[in-house]
Structure 1
Amino acid sequence: MIGPILKSLRREHMDVNLRHGRDRVVRIMERPGLWMSEADLQALTADLRTIAAKTLDAGRLSYGVFAGNRDRMRDTIITLVTHRDGTPIAFNALAIMTLDTQPDPTDVLHLGLVMVDPDQQFGGLSWVLYGLTCFLLFVRNQFRPLWISNVTQVPAVVGMVSEMFSGVWPRPDADRRTLNHVLMARRIMAGHRHVFGVGEDAEFDETRFVITNAYTGGSDDLKKTWDQAPKHRAAVFNDFCAAQLDYTRGDDVLQLGQIDLPAFRRYLSREVPKSAVFGVLSTGIYVVLRRLIPPVFYWSDSTRQFSILRPAKDTYPSRPSGDDRDV
């Protein structure tokens, strides 16, 4: 038991499991394209396609996680929900977009594609699929704010993002957009359209943050009519989407916001069931320990090389005889 735990703590990327209820398991896999074997990667892709096949005609979905491409999986975080027997029932594919900003590049977590087996729609999975991975990454990032993005035409998702995260633009009650919102949106649309399957012919309205004619870049089968799009319990979000988006043409709204301490508090108090709070906090502690414990092991072992750290016996090689230069 101790061996597997220590081995998992030494992994660079997150790969954690936690139980959801009595008969479900949630597995979060960070950048599986970097460390997962080819067989396991193909099995993961097959699980995602199985879920998608129950939702729509996934045979024509050619972007992102459905491509079965290792390179695409290098910048993706998969949250997979299965029954205890391994049957996949839901997933979230969260993409990591690195934007060229000043003074340093900025990583943006794109909420990506969420799919749930229609038979499991009312199984209390929204807090797992939409927030859990983001907030574990926030904890691992030492509670420093992280940017998130969301591209959707679904009023229920627009409302969920607006209520869960901080500083979201656009949203019905937002006062104004900031310069950061505009600059990040420009960079996302300029270099990361492939992440959410938007074609080059789609146009972006910077005033409203609406992508017009958005379903021409691989995500064609995800286009919904107004009647098909799930609605939010608060009518204000439904009215917002109805007024801003043309569902016949196929428009999306691009939302940008942040995960910060107030958002983290709202997530734990509003979204996570009380019965699951302990499990979420325990998983957060585990994620933190994976960042704290390995450096202690590496620094305390002076006999082995780690990255640029050299073994103590080789740190100061002997100088040739007669070399009495000052150090």
Structure 2
Amino acid sequence: MDVTLRTGADYTVRIVERPGLWMDEAALAALSADLRRIAARTLEAGSLTYGVFSGKKEAMEAVIITLVSRRDGTPVAFNALAVMKLDTAPHPTDMLHLGLVMVDADERSKNLSWVLYGLTCFLIFFRRQFRPVWVSNVTQVPAVVGMVTEMFSDVWPSPHNGRRTLNHLLLAREIMAMQRHVFGVGVEAGFDEERFVITDAYTGGSDDLKKTWEAAPKHRIESYNSFCQEALNYGRGDDVLQLGQMDLAAMRRYLTRDVPKSAVIGLMLTAGLIALQRIVLPAVHWADSTQTWSILRPHRTGKR
């Protein structure tokens, strides 16, 4: 998937899926440079050394980049969403990790959260023919905890009567056992299975993302702020691991509450193009047995 759409009069959004698998070196270097430029405008000090900032092609093979730029081409925000395949029974589970989100300080409070957190998940859900998509999130920011809780379904942990299921627990165990590198958590970090809290989380490359309680952006609903303040030790550097799903209920909330009305038509047109590419065109190609398509070859009749 490589799609571009407009969001209002000021921004364009490009969503690039697994660029490490198909982009040439020049295009990949340009994309990485845009991400580092945003990071330099976001971090007050220090630098990040893991994932998409490592400059390695293999680091881009299992990510989906959502890049927001001004109309003049200046990059201002991004989300590096990681694609994880978890070894669960009876079948592997695909998990979308909401990943690292950065926004240029001059562009904050401009309603970009619907793009950076929900847009890519919505399009993936649409492409999967409305099959629920598991999502994960690791953060210590109350504003992000609240946004994820309100955007997705069956989110745990949550201050609003959430319920931890066996699926939540098994998926969390697999993430902490095999996927810590995705969100820069070291092997020495602990994990509280009762509360889904990662203790001493900033030791695996994400050190410069650690925030104090005073510096962490707060949510407009106080219950999320109280939840994070009580559950997390900000001096030690704790994170909460949230798991939820993009399903039909979440999609309805996303379209009716989060997406600006001016962007709904463009979003649905983009979703339609993705469906055309993934569902309709393969069916049309399959029906034509006289033409080559990828590894498929036309059926030949008659004697040689």
TM (norm. structure 2) is 0.96
Structure (1 or 2) with the larger CA radius of gyration: 1
Question: Which structure 2 residues correspond to residues 198-213 of structure 1 after superposition, within 5 A?
Answer: 198-213=185-200
Consecutive unaligned residues of structure 2, counting only runs of 5 or more, are none
Mapped pair 1:161 → 2:148:
yes
What are the Cα deviations for residues 189-237 of structure 1, in whole angstroms up to 9, with x where unaligned?
A: 0000000000000000000000000000000000000000000000000
Partner of 1:9: none
Is the 2:154–2:163 Cα contact (8 Å) retained in structure 1? no
Give, in angstroms, the shift of residue 71 of structure 1: 1.0
Question: Which structure 2 residues correspond to residues 67-78 of structure 1 after superposition, within 5 A?
Answer: 67-78=54-65
Consecutive unaligned residues of structure 1, counting only runs of 5 or more, are 1-13, 320-327
Question: Which structure 2 residues correspond to residues 26-175 of structure 1 after superposition, within 5 A?
Answer: 26-56=13-43, 60-175=47-162
Tell me: CA distance 1:239–1:59, structure 2 relative to 1, closer, same or farther (3 Å): closer
Aligned to 2:296, what secondary structure does the other structure show?
A: coil
The structure 2 residue matched to 1:262, chosen from 229, 237, 249, is: 249
What are the Cα deviations for residues 127-158 of structure 1, in whole angstroms up to 9, with x where unaligned?
A: 11110010011011101101000000000000
Give, in angstroms, the shift of residue 59 of structure 1: 5.5
Give, in angstroms, the shift of residue 276 of structure 1: 1.1
Which amino acid in the other structure matches residue 103 of structure 1? P
Partner of 2:2: 15
Tell me: CA distance 1:301–1:149, structure 2 relative to 1, closer, same or farther (3 Å): same
Is the 2:155–2:162 Cα contact (8 Å) retained in structure 1? no
Tell me: CA distance 1:78–1:119, structure 2 relative to 1, closer, same or farther (3 Å): same
Aligned to 2:115, what secondary structure does the other structure show?
A: helix
What are the Cα deviations for residues 149-199 of structure 1, in whole angstroms up to 9, with x where unaligned?
A: 000000000000111100000000234310000000000000000000000
Tell me: CA distance 1:241–1:34, structure 2 relative to 1, closer, same or farther (3 Å): same
Aligned to 2:100, what secondary structure does the other structure show?
A: strand
Give, in angstroms, the shift of residue 277 of structure 1: 1.2
The worse-fitting range, judged by mean Cα deviation, of 124-133 and 300-309 is 300-309
What are the Cα deviations for residues 66-120 of structure 1, in whole angstroms up to 9, with x where unaligned?
A: 1121111111000001112211000001000100011111100000000000000
The structure 2 residue matched to 1:229, chosen from 207, 216, 225, is: 216
Tell me which stretches of 4 or more aligned residues in structure 1 moved more than 4 Å. 316-319
TM (norm. structure 1) is 0.90
What are the Cα deviations for residues 46-82 of structure 1, in whole angstroms up to 9, with x where unaligned?
A: 0000000011157631111111211111110000011
The worse-fitting range, judged by mean Cα deviation, of 292-301 and 110-119 is 292-301
Counterpart Cα distance in 2 of 1:295 and 1:25: 29
Which amino acid in the other structure matches residue 212 of structure 1? T
Aligned to 1:311, what secondary structure does the other structure show?
A: coil
